[in-house]
Chain A
Amino acid sequence: MIPIPAPSDLKEKLLMSAAVLTCQGQYEVIIENYRSIKSLTETKVEVQTKTCVVTVSGMDLMAVYYTKEAMKITGKINKIEYIQK
């Protein structure tokens, strides 16, 4: 069973600039605390964070908004991967 980090641990992780992903079902994901966008296609979105590359794979993917703080990706999401450097 994966241990759920305590709030104090979460704070630490945020301070370490870990990316925050908020998924709502299979059709929406909000990514915060990222560095830049590496690539964006209809089937794959690669986002560079400080610790790893987050890859969202799926169909008809689109960034509803893209700002300095957060981006929201919609579409049919099949897979989310964390690829270490």
Chain B
Amino acid sequence: MFRKLMDFLRGKLLIHISGLSPERFLNLCAARGLEINCLKATEEGFECRMSLRDYREARGLARKAKVMLHICEKRGLPFLLFRYRKRKAYAAGILLSLILLYSLSVFLWDIQVVGNSYYTDDIILTFLKENNIRHGMQMSDIVCDELEQALRNQYTNITWVSAQISGTRLIIQVKENFGLLEIPEKIEEPGDLVADRDGVITELVTRVGIPLVKAGDEVTRGQVLVSGRVSILNDGGEIAGYQEVTADATIRARVVEEYSWERSIFYEEKRVIDKSFRGVSLRIGENRVNARKSDEPEAYHYRITEYWQPCLFRNFYLPITLEKTTDYTYEVLQRRMTEEEQTQSAQEELQEYLREWQEKGGQLLEQHLSLTPGALKLTVTGNLVLEGPFGELVPLGELSQDETIPEETEEIMTE
């Protein structure tokens, strides 16, 4: 490949050698260090390929050996340049294209953002735009270190960022972290864990405090589950004092919740009855060329405008936007839900209700619901048996004088 390229640049000739002693000519060429390729015998002599530079030197040797050299074919850049020497515009075009290629290579033409999921390309590109990093700017004006720092400062969830320039492309690689970004503040205030509703304890693991209930116990709202007041006994087994701690435990319980929900069985449906094309408009930069009426949509009409903006590479949008506007005429229909729709609607609402509970780690054990379709309203009533995290932390109450030592069902555990 390299040899072929060099042959093209230097220029290669196919020459025909004829005369009295072509072998002598070949030997003279070899003795002078000239390279002969593809040498083969023909009816009238020899044929070979030779570079332009070697041919110029070989002409003298041909006279010496009394042979005739006839050029059969010319190939390569020197001959092309010679052939097109009078075509100034052609040469100027090539020169101009080279200049253009070089001048365009100093600008930024593409920005790629890699590794982002939460912060979309648009968010990061908008930020770059605010920091004067935009398509078409000079590459030399981009300071990658500053850009990286600015991105890290702006978006705290971006833990690592790398900006690098590759050709005419700016590649921004980011790594996002949405794990534990902030250490939750530890509540230092002493407190008890109490039941936030009625239920049956299914699991109790105490970390700090004295558990007052055990798995299987039925508890009522407000009942202390884990006490934050730890008694200190003296050698005689009497209470010498109390140590106040923040009760901490994993408590799960089964609870029964009343569920009631209702909605109208009628709903409005918009049905498109007519569609009319309003026209197109072209926006170039800040200027707009309208080819449509600029009136507002009438009643029972809505308007959709579709934008089309040509894009080079992945995200280099040219400042030209074509807008196509269409008006839709609709009518509003009052519809009554079918039985299937009513059931589906009730199920969707229940799922939405349970979603928050399930996000906390809870689960639905049983459901006893009845769907009552009325003349105007759909009603769902019943109860749900749920199992999940239980209890809330409340500050310690005042110590009453007749407070007795709580019965220790498990070993006192402290941090």
> Which residues of A pack against B, CB within 8 Å?
36-42, 61-68
Contacts and interface: CB of A to CB of B under 8 A. Distances in A.
Contact of A39 (B23, B30, B37, B40): B23
Given A64-B37, A65-B35, A66-B48, 15 more contacts: A36-B23, A37-B26, A37-B30, A40-B39, A40-B46, A41-B41, A42-B40, A42-B41, A62-B39, A63-B36, A63-B38, A63-B40, A64-B38, A66-B37, A67-B36
Contacts of B46: 40
B179 interface: no
Contact of A40 (B23, B29, B33, B34): B23
Contacts of A41: 41
Nearest to A45: B41
A67 B34 CA distance: 7
10 contacts: A42-B40, A62-B39, A63-B39, A63-B40, A65-B39, A66-B30, A66-B36, A66-B39, A67-B30, A67-B34
A20 B251 CA distance: 94
Contacts of B30: 36-37, 66-68
B23 A37 contact: yes
Main secondary structure of the interface of A (DSSP, over half): strand
Contacts of B40: 40, 42, 61-63
Interface of B: 23, 26-27, 29-31, 33-41, 46, 48
Nearest to B40: A62
A66 to B, nearest CB: 4
A81 B29 CA distance: 25
Contacts of A38: 23
Nearest to B36: A66
Q: Which 4 A-B pairs have the closest CB atoms?
A: A63-B39, A62-B40, A36-B27, A66-B36
A59 to B, nearest CB: 12
A74 to B, nearest CB: 10
Contacts of B23: 36-40
A65 B33 contact: no
Contacts of B37: 64-66
B26 A66 contact: yes
Contacts of B36: 63, 65-67
Nearest to A68: B30
User: Looking at A36, A38, A42, A66, which has the most chain B CB atoms within 10 Å of its CB?
Assistant: A66
User: Looking at B30, B31, B38, B46, which has the most chain A CB atoms within 10 Å of its CB?
Assistant: B30
Nearest to A66: B36
Contacts of B39: 40, 62-66
B38 to A, nearest CB: 7
A68 B31 contact: yes
B42 to A, nearest CB: 9
Contacts of A61: 40-41
Contact of A68 (B33, B38, B41): B33
A67 B40 CA distance: 14
A64 B40 CA distance: 8
Contact of A67 (B35, B38, B41): B35
A68 B46 CA distance: 18
Nearest to A38: B23
B409 to A, nearest CB: 95
A39 B26 CA distance: 10
A67 B27 contact: no
Contacts of B35: 65-67
Nearest to B34: A67
B38 A62 contact: yes
Contacts of A63: 36, 38-40, 48
Contacts of A66: 26, 29-30, 35-37, 39, 48
A7 B135 CA distance: 68
